Amino acid sequence: MIGAGPIGLEAALYGVTLGADVRIYESGRVAQHVAEWSHIHLFTPFKMNHTPLGRRILEAEGWTLPENDAFQTGAEWRDRYLLALAERTVLADALELGYRVITVGRRGMLKGAHVGNGQRAGELFRLLVESEGGERYEETDVVLDCSGSWGNPNWLGQGGVPALGERQSRDRILYYPVDVAGKDRGRFARRRALLVGDGLSAATTAVALAELAAEDPETQAVWVTASAAPTPIRPIVDDTLDRRADLVRAANRVALAPASGLEWVPGSTVRAIRWDGGRFRVTLDTPKGERAEEFDEVIANVGYEPDNSLYGELQVHECYASRGPMKLAATLLSASADSEGDCLKLGGFGPDVLVNPEPNFFILGMKSYGRNSSFLLQAGYEQIRDVFTLLTSEPELDLYGRYDVTAER
Ligand SMILES: Cc1cc2nc3c(=O)[nH]c(=O)nc-3n(C[C@H](O)[C@H](O)[C@H](O)COP(=O)(O)OP(=O)(O)OC[C@H]3O[C@@H](n4cnc5c(N)ncnc54)[C@H](O)[C@@H]3O)c2cc1C
């Protein structure tokens, strides 16, 4: 397994339960990425954020799980479930924390060798793994890449092309949903911030900035979205996830309220950005022309893309639009057209969409969706179940019992 995030952990648990010899290489801590958004509330309840297998094993260990209907923060979910999986189960012996996988290849075979003749399956994978102690090789029969995409943010400039000066200011721009009400408060209170993005992370940040401005009226923020739609966040029709619907409503409300302390600038993009050592000097392209602005902080909640350099030596057919593995990407594309923007309606695609030209190499979890941000944990749990039916050649294998994601909802 590459990555001890929520999907890597569950996949490892599944494999170990089947008797496989599993190693999990994790570059940071357990669920490192979740730890980085620990202040944010999940919009799915706990019953959608764990598997029946995880529950069975932890309860057998005497661990009390959260209530099924609990809406946890990332920190609570990590502490009460993910860390328990990692520390209280057999996974503890499988974890290699602080080990980053740099590249995966095939022993003695370049990327172009043995196209489509099945012979690549006859050689082991070779992984270059790096830790504080140095580099080493590992060899293995199967690789599940569960490394997520959070570590690789998109550029904030128009069309994904860096804004002028963005590359030079990269280290100073905040490319994640910051903890405005908590540890990062001092960076925003009584100061002026620019927020760029129109997804759920941007919605979370916008609401937090408006709440801070309500408490401390000298706080100011400008929210730039590329789309000129009537609201910054497109609501999901008949959304069954109340928390998500509430967040979208709240974000759209603060954007449209003149006294929120947050000015929404639709149909606009960042043309240039420069950190002068004290403030950002920013040029916005707006429908009314160029606008020169100064900000203390810039938050770019503009999505992430997978780091595909990891498997550059393998035969993976990628989607030219999402950069996810092709079969899954194509299925997602056609399913998305019918889902009205609701990721809950995506899933149940079956094992075949996980198969790559490279035998025994699978991309699971957030990374499997590429740039498509609609991944939900439920889809990942389905992928785990499906991938092990392929690896064992047992189509009926299901350690999640009668677990039916629709029923679980
Ligand atoms: C703010 C936020 C809120 C979300 N809320 C929900 C929600 O409410 N409900 C829901 O269903 N989904 C939600 N999601 C989506 C998704 O479920 C999460 O992103 C989830 O963490 C994805 O799990 P993962 O295991 O695929 O990837 P990640 O959690 O990203 O884990 C990947 C792991 O791989 C490690 N890693 C990366 N590269 C390497 C490498 N080269 N070598 C070794 N290790 C590596 C990382 O350190 C990390 O620990 C949310 C996502 C975000 C960002």
| pLDDT, tens digit (0-9, with 9 covering 90-100), for 355-382 | 999 999 999 999 999 999 889 999 999 9
**Residue 46 has what DSSP assignment?**
G
**pLDDT above 70 (res 253):** yes
Mutate to test the pocket of ligand 1, among 13, 27, 34 (most ligand atoms within 8 A of CB): 27
Q: Which atom of ligand 1 is nearest to the CA of 49?
A: 11
Res 341: pLDDT: 58
CA angle at 322 for the pair 51 and 168, rounded to the nearest 5°:
105
What mean pLDDT is predicted for residues 148-157?
94
Query: Does the pLDDT value for residue 46 go beyond 50?
Result: yes
20 versus 403: the higher-pLDDT residue is: 20
pLDDT digits (tens, 9 = 90+) for 210-229: 999 999 999 999 999 999 99
User: Taking a C-beta distance cutoff of 8 angstroms, is the pair 280, 295 a contact?
Assistant: yes
402 pLDDT above the threshold of 70: no
Query: Distances from the Cα of 68 to the Cαs of 65, 85, 408, in angstroms?
Result: 8, 17, 10
289-295, strands of its sheet edge to edge: 269-275, 280-286, 289-295
CA atoms of 166 and 157, how far apart (whole Å): 8
CA of 249 to the centre of ligand 1 (A): 25
List, for residues 5-31, the tens digit of each pLDDT value.
999 999 999 999 999 999 999 999 999
Q: How far from 49 is each of 20, 155, 192, 381, 405, CA to CA, in Å?
A: 24, 30, 36, 9, 11
**Region 107-131: what's the mean pLDDT?**
95
The percentage of residues in the chain with a pLDDT greater than 90, rounded to a whole number, is: 89
Residue with tokens 């392209």: 285
Q: Considering only residues 280 and 336, tell me which one the structure prediction assigns the higher pLDDT.
A: 280
Q: Measure Cα distances from 290 to 144, 284, 287 in Å.
A: 47, 6, 8
176 pLDDT band, cuts 50/70/90, is very high
> What is the CB < 6 Å shell around ligand 1?
2-8, 25-28, 31-34, 37, 40, 42-44, 100-101, 146-148, 150-151, 177, 201, 310, 365-366, 375-377, 380
- HSE of 166, CA atoms in CB hemisphere, 13 A: 21
Atom number of ligand 1 nearest to Cα 368: 26
Nearest protein CA to atom 14 of ligand 1, as residue: 376
Query: What was the pLDDT predicted at 409?
Result: 33
pLDDT band at 58 (very low <50, low <70, confident <90, very high): very high
244 Cα nearest atom in ligand 1: 8
pLDDT at 405 > cutoff 90 = no
The SS3 of residue 187 is helix
- In the predicted model, is pLDDT for residue 94 greater than 90? yes
The backbone torsions φ and ψ at residue 310, rounded to the nearest 5 degrees and listed phi first, read -55, -40
CB-CB contact of 23 with 7 (8 Å): no
pLDDT at residue 57 above 60? yes
- Cβ contact 318:308 at 8 Å: yes
Triad 88, 89, 90: Cα angle to 5° = 135
pLDDT tier, 165 (very low <50, low <70, confident <90, very high otherwise):
very high
Q: Whose CA is nearest to atom 9 of ligand 1?
A: 44
Task: Tell me the C-alpha distance between 67 and 34, whole Å.
Answer: 20
* Residue 407, pLDDT score: 46
Confidence grade of residue 124 (pLDDT, cut at 50, 70, 90): very high
How confident is residue 336, by pLDDT bands cut at 50, 70 and 90?
confident
CA gap 234, 232 in Å, rounded:
7
d(CA 4, CA 26): 5
pLDDT at 406: 44
- Measured in angstroms, how far is the CA atom of residue 5 from the centroid of ligand 1? 6
Rounded distance, CA 146 to CA 11, Å?
Answer: 9
Q: Which of 169, 302, 295, 156 is nearest to 221 (CA)?
A: 295
Query: Ligand 1 pocket: which of 29, 42, 82 to mutate (most atoms <8 Å of CB)?
Result: 42
Pocket test for ligand 1, best of 32, 149, 246 (most atoms within 8 A of CB): 32
* Residue bearing the CA closest to ligand 1, atom 3: 42
pLDDT at residue 373 in the model: 87
Testing ligand 1's pocket by substitution, the residue of 24, 125, 377 carrying the most ligand atoms inside 8 A of its CB is 377
